[in-house]
Amino acid sequence: GESVGLHLPTLSVQEGDNSIINCAYSNSASDYFIWYKQESGKGPQFIIDIRSNMDKRQGQRVTVLLNKTVKHLSLQIAATQPGDSAVYFCAENRSSGGSYIPTFGRGTSLIVHP
Amino acid sequence: DADVTQTPRNRITKTGKRIMLECSQTKGHDRMYWYRQDPGLGLRLIYYSFDVKDINKGEISDGYSVSRQAQAKFSLSLESAIPNQTALYFCATSDLRETQYFGPGTRLLVL
């Protein structure tokens, strides 16, 4: 079946480095993607989104890249800080009766060392 | 996110018991969702509702039921709890942009 998955379950970086978290998706009909951050003991929080008519979108210190050819999504975090330590999920949104139903990947744990 | 609240935050119950998890939101969103989270499996959708009269099964609805009592309230019930329903449960709402806003979660342990 169609699925969303992550290549790396854990990513360790040094403070100040750039981080890249990857996500593969297999549903070619998905046209809206979101990255969420989940800190320990909390629910996931929206970071950034991208629609399939774009290949790059930038936010504050974060950039999402979308490669539809290989069905790949990445989240880049610039100058990673200890507060960025969390689990990051990508979610693909597929249309269902005109609305979108999200499917989440397994998540990548980002550990930032001071 | 204080706009989406869940009660209880933690619950221990025994096999066979009926329990209800409640979710309330003040964001004014029509769309609400229930997910469960298990280690290494991410978030899986149990049920979702696009308005008060709308209930839809998600990926893993067996063993669960829901009630959408009002726009702001969406409750999840386990009619007869079993140990493999031990998990972290999240309620979420979404706006027209489909961004999900999650509650703080309910940690459920079924003995």
Q: Do B104 and A9 touch (CB under 8 A)?
A: no
pLDDT recorded at residue A1 = 33
Residue numbers of B between 24 and 43 with CB closer than 8 Å to A: 31, 35, 40-43
Instruction: Say whether pLDDT at A3 is over 70.
Output: no
Torsion angles phi and psi, residue B83, rounded to 5: -55, -35
Looking at residues A36-59, what average pLDDT do you find? 93
Q: What is the pLDDT of residues A60-90, one digit of tens each?
A: 999 999 999 999 999 999 999 999 999 999 9
User: Measured between beta carbons, which residues in chain A are less than 8 angstroms from residue B55?
Assistant: none
In chain A, % of residues over pLDDT 70? 89
Looking at residues A17-41, what average pLDDT do you find? 91
> Residue B46 — left, alpha, or beta (φ > 0 → left; ψ -120 to 50 → alpha)?
alpha
Instruction: Say whether pLDDT at A2 is over 70.
Output: no
Closest chain A C-alpha to B15 CA, distance in angstroms: 25
Contact present, B80 and B16 (Cβ < 8 Å): yes
Q: Do B100 and A42 touch (CB under 8 A)?
A: no
Instruction: Report the mean per-residue pLDDT for chain A.
Output: 88
Residue A86 in contact with partner chain B when CB distance is under 8 A: no
Q: Do A42 and B104 touch (CB under 8 A)?
A: yes
Q: Is residue A98 very low, low, confident or very high in pLDDT (cuts 50, 70, 90)?
A: low
Nearest by CB to B43, from A45, A46, A89: name it: A89
Looking at residues B9-24, what average pLDDT do you find? 97
What secondary structure does DSSP assign to chain A, as a single string?
Answer: ---EE-S-SEEEEETTS-EEEEEEE--TT--EEEEEEE-TTS--EEEEEEETT-SEEE-SSEEEEEETTTTEEEEEESS--GGG-EEEEEEEEEEETTEEEEEE---EEEEEE-
CA dist., res. B4 & res. A104, Å (int): 20
Q: Is residue B37 very low, low, confident or very high in pLDDT (cuts 50, 70, 90)?
A: very high
Minimum mean pLDDT range among B16-25, B34-43, B59-68, B87-96: B34-43
Residue A107 in contact with partner chain B when CB distance is under 8 A: yes
Instruction: Say whether pLDDT at B45 is over 60.
Output: yes
Q: What is the pLDDT of residues B50-106, one digit of tens each?
A: 999 899 999 999 999 999 989 999 999 999 999 999 999 999 999 876 788 999 999
Residue A46 in contact with partner chain B when CB distance is under 8 A: yes
What secondary structure does DSSP assign to B36-95, as a single string?
Answer: EEETTTEEEEEEEESSTT--EE-TT-TTEEEEEEETTEEEEEESS--GGG-EEEEEEEE-
User: Measured between beta carbons, which residues in chain B are less than 8 angstroms from residue A42?
Assistant: 104-105
Going by C-beta distance under 8 Å and a sequence separation of 6 or more, which residues neighbour residue B79? Answer: B18, B63, B64, B65
Q: Do B100 and A99 touch (CB under 8 A)?
A: no
Instruction: Say whether pLDDT at B22 is over 80.
Output: yes
> Per the structure block, which two tokens stand in for B78?
């386990």
